[in-house]
Structure 1
Amino acid sequence: MSETVIVVNTAVAVLAIVVLIVRFRLNPVISLVIGAVYLGLTAGLGVEGTVGAVTGGFGDILADVGLLIAFGVLTGAMLHRAGAIERLVSALLRVCGPRGMPYATAVTVSTALQSIFVDVLLVISAPLARRIAPRIGDRGLPRMATALAIGLECGIVFMVPGVGAVALAGVLGVPLGQMLILGLVVVVPTVVIATGIMTVLLRRGWWDPARDEQEPALAADSADSADSAETTDTGVDPGPGPDGRGTDHPRGAGRQAAPARTATGAGPAARAGRRELPLLALFGPLLAGLLLIAAGAVLDAAGVTHPVLALLAEPVIALLIALVGTTALVGAVYGRDMVESAVGDGFRESGQILILTGVGGSLATTISEAGLGEILGRFFSASTAAPLLMVWLIAAVLHVAIGSVTISAITAAGVLAPVAPVIGLAPVLIALAAGAGALFAVHVTSNTFWLLQSLLGQSVRGTLKTCSVGVSIASVVAILVILPLSVVV
């Protein structure tokens, strides 16, 4: 089959996925499978080869990352139930002071809090950020809103155990330790620089409180609703999106069941009167697990081998240790009821993530089996910057169309994943570039946009500035940080 036909059919498959999701509002899982089947049949794989690529890709990626995602989400659910976010924000304010709070918020949300499901993280942290905003000086509200938006979205795709980062590592076969270290190298300067750029813009007249913030009465209502959501027994329903999408859900994905439910024994009110764990102890098991993963990557690069260290540094074992340790601490201090409620939350949250990740692997495997790698490899020759910029552009375009950071990143990475072995490009760079591109133009198709708009008292115009422009700046900064890494990785 001619190379032109393969390239054209790949483009048609990706375009068909976008059209099915955007125009016909078909569920992304079904759309991705249809696109993969079309590509397999038109690329000459035959019926058996196509089905084998779709099912094999689904199973392979879930074998690699399924437990990692589940363990990460469950650990985050435990931390949420134990009130970790509220306490961490208070500690950051004491340590960093008002002036440094936006930067500290962006860095912390994008790194230490990425095990907490994004809906939960945003619903709990936004009211806290809003209460802090008046204390940090000029343009406090938009600065905190920008810091939250940048930290949330960047953490998803760059920082293990963020679901996007773990999924990208699985699709491209990137060792999780390598993804963790290089993701950290990228995400910290990205969020700091992007937050700094937005701070300058906001302070120089770009923010108009009269037009960019809600009326005081409406803003107060939003804040009251958000505060009451933290302790309600009936559950949080943060879905203010115009068509009922969940966070990072593309058009037609359907509204996810509200993950931030709180049951008896959860929330600040229910914890009143109980002794509290030191904050470092509460995060200790998760930090230990991430350090074990990073240590494994360092030891592997140094050629050091030891059976015990190798076992502990395996990502599945390291995150299992983090989950068991967090569960033991939360159960001992707050009771078994809280643990059981957190486990229920975690199972609800992880289901759709796992299925979307699996079908993303199906499409990536089908693209690889179609032979696109050799074709693109000859096109890009020995250049490393060109495919990285291309994967950034593909992910950006897909995100604008689909509205899902995770799906657009996985799809873009799948298209160019076969290029890596042909031209000697490290797959981790493709993963990072895909994540960077998928951040571009977070807008009204994302529930993150609407949550930030309502919970932080912004108008739609204001949210376009803090969320859409802020995260887009982070997207550009990230690819500029990633490109030099291609020289040394």
Structure 2
Amino acid sequence: MPIVSICVGVALLLLLMVVFKLNAFISLIIVSLLVGILEGMSPIDAMTSIENGLGSTLGHLAMVIIFGGILGKLMTDSGGAQRIAMTLIKVFGEKRVQLAAVLTASIVGIALFFETGVVVLIPLVFTIAAAAGVPVLYIGMPVIAALITMHGFVPPHPGPTAIADVFGANIGKMLIYGIIIAIPAIILAGPVFTKLFKKESLETTIPKELFNPKHFEEHEMPGFGTSIFTAIIPVILIATKAFVEIFMPGSPIMPATNFIGNPSVALLISVIIAIFTFGISRGKKMPEIMNSVSESVSGIAMILLIIGAGGAFKQVLIDSHIDQYISDIMAGSTLSPLLLTWLIAALLRVAVGSATVAGMTAAGIAAPLVSAAGISPELMALAAGAGSITFSHVNDAGFWIYKEYFNLSIGQTIKTWSVMVTIISLVGLAGVLLINMFI
């Protein structure tokens, strides 16, 4: 029984990590192997699935996380992050610094993948929190809420775009509807949700490898223009690629924009520029700059492994066809097409961890309902997207990214991250149903 296997796996993972204090990477590999065997896979097949999941996850994320970590380290070690933070606080005021962070993340989140947005913005989150004297999660949770919401609802992100293609949805309409839904979702899951926590529960110890607590004097920091330009180069490059794809399809410049807009390439270009703007132009010698690079890479090694192991767990669940089991159960339902699409995606998300698998599978099942029921394909695509980002837990790489970057326990991660994405998902469903009443 697939659901039993998942429950056994999650229970064992919590036992190994919480009770026995076993390293998260080792725990995830053990649990992945056990769940695969429970689902009828041979030990060799289960290990092959683990290797494939680990490799595919890190193949997609390794350079993004490494280059993002280097960029963040150069930005904090030079005082660039502090300059941006101080300017935002001065313009918005300390009482509205959370709003400043949310606006920044929402704009950045239009162009960047969730993982890329996290690694680019995390140093800024730490610096703003330190400069404003507020808990890290008071800034971090709204920023993450903005990034994951844009990632789930708004094209040209790959998930929403691929789901839109399955339903035959208009990208322009979906973009408009997605932004309309995203605004209340970000507000409720970010600033409003943080108000439910006591201040001390939002405190966390910042991983020392990712943040330089040094307070820079005015003359030691680069200018605001230099700092913000260097920080948003990945956003500019990736947004350029998205713009050309949407508004200039078939353009002769597409090969070039596809290349520079690749997240790994965009971050590599940003690192090269940051070596100059945050290093050489500030009078630093190359050995000192490279020392920051080395420290950033060594600091994120375990984060990379844990995220990869989360991907391995997800792959075992997919290869054992748990997603098909849930799809078969839901296929004969008579629920509203929008609610059914959301529910299928939500159940798959909880079961297999992958938002992309959840959204695309739900879309494949529900696509015929668009013409049969006369439902807006754009709203069906958004319903699948909303369901695909619901309750995220230990089988999702995003869970581990959030946990490790904010240095949280599993319990803290569930109370904040898991509940936060569920709020976003439910607001998304409500928004889809509401818009459906008026179109």
User: Shorter-chain-normalised TM-score: which range?
Assistant: 0.5 to 0.7
For 1:146 and 1:350, locate their aligned partners in 2 and report how far apart those are by CA, in whole Å: 20
Q: Of residues 267, 273, 276 in structure 2, which corresponds to 1:325?
A: 273
Deviation of the 1:388 alpha carbon: 4.2
Q: Of residues 60, 64, 74 in structure 2, which corresponds to 1:64?
A: 60
- Cα gap change, 1:389 to 1:145, in 2 (>3 Å): same
- Cα gap change, 1:109 to 1:348, in 2 (>3 Å): farther
- Give the TM-score normalised by the residue count of structure 2: 0.67
Deviation of the 1:58 alpha carbon: 0.8
300-309 vs 15-24, which moves further = 300-309
- Paired residue secondary structure (1:281): helix
- Cα gap change, 1:387 to 1:286, in 2 (>3 Å): farther
Deviation of the 1:479 alpha carbon: 1.8
- Counterparts of 1:11-410 in structure 2, within 5 Å, are 11-97=7-93, 100-108=96-104, 114-115=118-119, 118=122, 124-130=127-133, 147-154=138-145, 157=148, 185=179, 189-194=184-189, 197=192, 258-261=209-212, 267-269=215-217, 273-274=219-220, 276-301=221-246, 303-305=249-251, 306-334=254-282, 335-336=284-285, 338-381=288-331, 383-390=340-347, 394=350
Residue matched to 1:134? none
Deviation of the 1:480 alpha carbon: 3.6
- Paired residue secondary structure (1:104): helix
Instruction: Give 1:317's aligned amino acid.
Output: V
RMSD (CA atoms): 4.7
Contact 1:78 1:330 in 2 (8 A): yes
For 1:450 and 1:312, locate their aligned partners in 2 and report how far apart those are by CA, in whole Å: 32
Instruction: Give 1:369's aligned amino acid.
Output: D
Contact 2:392 2:418 in 1 (8 A): no
Deviation of the 1:473 alpha carbon: 7.7
For 2:93 and 2:210, locate their aligned partners in 1 and report how far apart those are by CA, in whole Å: 32
1:321-341 Cα distance to aligned partner (Å, 9 max, x none): 112111221122221355223
- Paired residue secondary structure (1:293): helix
- Cα gap change, 1:316 to 1:374, in 2 (>3 Å): same
For 1:279 and 1:145, locate their aligned partners in 2 and report how far apart those are by CA, in whole Å: 22
Are 1:478 and 2:424 counterparts?
A: yes
For 1:343 and 1:354, locate their aligned partners in 2 and report how far apart those are by CA, in whole Å: 16
- Cα gap change, 1:278 to 1:259, in 2 (>3 Å): closer
Q: Of residues 6, 12, 19 in structure 2, which corresponds to 1:10?
A: 6
Contact 1:191 1:474 in 2 (8 A): no
Q: Of residues 413, 423, 437 in structure 1, which corresponds to 2:391?
A: 437
- Give the TM-score normalised by the residue count of structure 1: 0.61
Instruction: Give 2:343's aligned amino acid.
Output: A
For 2:41 and 2:74, locate their aligned partners in 1 and report how far apart those are by CA, in whole Å: 45
Q: Unaligned stretches of 5+ in structure 1?
A: 131-140, 161-167, 215-239, 248-255, 396-409, 452-463
Deviation of the 1:419 alpha carbon: 3.7
Q: Percent identity?
A: 18
Contact 2:84 2:227 in 1 (8 A): no
Instruction: Give 1:280's aligned amino acid.
Output: G
For 2:23 and 2:381, locate their aligned partners in 1 and report how far apart those are by CA, in whole Å: 29
For 2:226 and 2:366, locate their aligned partners in 1 and report how far apart those are by CA, in whole Å: 43
- Cα gap change, 1:147 to 1:111, in 2 (>3 Å): farther
For 2:32 and 2:414, locate their aligned partners in 1 and report how far apart those are by CA, in whole Å: 30
Instruction: Give 1:386's aligned amino acid.
Output: L
300-309 vs 61-70, which moves further = 300-309
Deviation of the 1:476 alpha carbon: 5.1
1:466-487 Cα distance to aligned partner (Å, 9 max, x none): x998878854542244335799
Instruction: Give 1:423's aligned amino acid.
Output: I
Deviation of the 1:294 alpha carbon: 3.0
For 1:286 and 1:9, locate their aligned partners in 2 and report how far apart those are by CA, in whole Å: 44
Alignment length, in residue pairs? 374
For 1:107 and 1:386, locate their aligned partners in 2 and report how far apart those are by CA, in whole Å: 30
